[in-house]
Amino acid sequence: MGSRMCDHLDIGIETDEPFLEHEYRTGPLAAEIFRHVPIEQRATLIRAIRLAHESQMSRPRTSLRQVLRGWQKGRRVTVFLGHDADGGSPDLSGEIEDVTAGWVIHESAVTITKAPATWRTAIKVGDRLDHWVDIPVLGHRIITEIQSEEDVIRLHLDGIARIPGVPHIAELL
Amino acid sequence: MAMSYDIGLLKDAMPDWETLTIDALAKRILEDLPAEFMLTTVRNICTAYHKCEEESDCEPIQFLRADDGAGMTLECWIRDTKDGEGNFANPHIEGHLDLHEIGIQISANSVLLTDLPASITARDLEGTPVSDLIEMPVLERRIIESVKTTDNNVLLQLSRLAPLSWKDEMERWNDAI
């Protein structure tokens, strides 16, 4: 299969509903993951997002559906489709895991799996996240809640605005 | 480290890979697919099969399409076959190639032409290699067994190839399951 054919490759079953990009919202992490998805995978990804949205229509709106998983620069990445709490708009959220560094980042939280023991008492609500861990993709976020259990610390972060549409992916369609 | 992706919904149901069959054209299409698309393709075969299972009298479901932007599209479909008593027997994957610029559609066991050169009659074609008309690797050594013509179309039935076993033929793919 020539490379040109791969540029127009589209894997997945047909969807019944039209794709209305303006209905979607995307979290910054999901957008960051999308930014690295190569062009030849994008039609397939849009199809998966549409199928997940259709499938969500018949399920409780609280459930998440996984639409992409993979590896980017040695980090495990995952994208889920859910619905926002207010109007039920389809909402894409991302998750990035760096096993070597010992963290998993979500749209509104960070799970640190290799935190020094002293951190459990040192980290305070209201601290800036980048004071403790340098994860540029999260930007300047404030810690709003701390949970810890054995070696794992989970830091909840202040909210950040969602991006309208499905950036980097839908714009080329 | 290279980037890799696995795109699609979680697998709700999987075909019985032991009994899954695939035709020669679909095999060719999937074998030509670069390795980075295998996980995604297998995932979407599962989604298509699940949908097929959910519907009582399911039509074939397309799970892959590609377009070279220069007049050729290719597709893969999955469908459930039935045995002699009408019971569902096993899932089957079919390939389809459409050279729409020149009016030729190719399936594993047939070729549909929108036109024949005036100098050729249907009778001339029976028993001849289809490669005399269309040169494509997938049609090599295939003999035209019968010809049906309508006003605008000519259907060439080729010497029949039996469905292939996924398990035996798609060994490289079984690691992606």
Query: Which chain B positions have a beta carbon within 8 Å of A44's beta carbon?
Result: 7-8, 40, 44
Give the number of A-B residue pairs with CB atoms closer than 8 Å: 98
B/e letters for B30-66, b = 16+ CB within 10 Å, e = fewer, are beebeebbbbbbbbbbbbbbbbbeeeeebeebbbbbb
Which of B38, B151, B25, B5 minimizes the C-alpha distance to B96?
B25
Chain B positions touching chain A (beta carbons under 8 Å): 1-10, 29, 32-34, 37, 40-41, 44, 47-48, 51, 61-70, 72, 74
- Tokens encoding B161: 């190839």
pTM here is: 0.88
In the block, tokens 């397939």 appear at A44
ipTM (interface predicted TM): 0.88
The per-residue pLDDT for range A57-83, each reduced to its tens digit, is 776 666 889 999 999 989 999 999 998
Q: Which of A63-67, A98-102, B130-134, B151-155 is the least confident region?
A: B151-155
- Per-residue pLDDT tens for B121-149? 777 889 999 998 888 888 988 999 999 98
B-interface mutation test, from A13, A33, A166, most B Cβ less than 10 A away: A13
pLDDT given for residue A7 in this prediction? 79
Higher pLDDT, A149 or A12: A12
Residue B115 has pLDDT above 90, yes or no: no
Q: Do B3 and A36 touch (CB under 8 A)?
A: yes
Is A36 an interface residue toward B (CB < 8 Å)?
yes
Q: Please give the backbone phi and psi of residue B46, each rounded to the nearest 5 degrees, phi first.
A: -65, -45
Smallest Cβ–Cβ distance between A41 and the set B2, B5, B65 belongs to B5
Identify the pLDDT of residue B125.
86
Domain boundaries, chain A: 1-69+81-93, 101-161
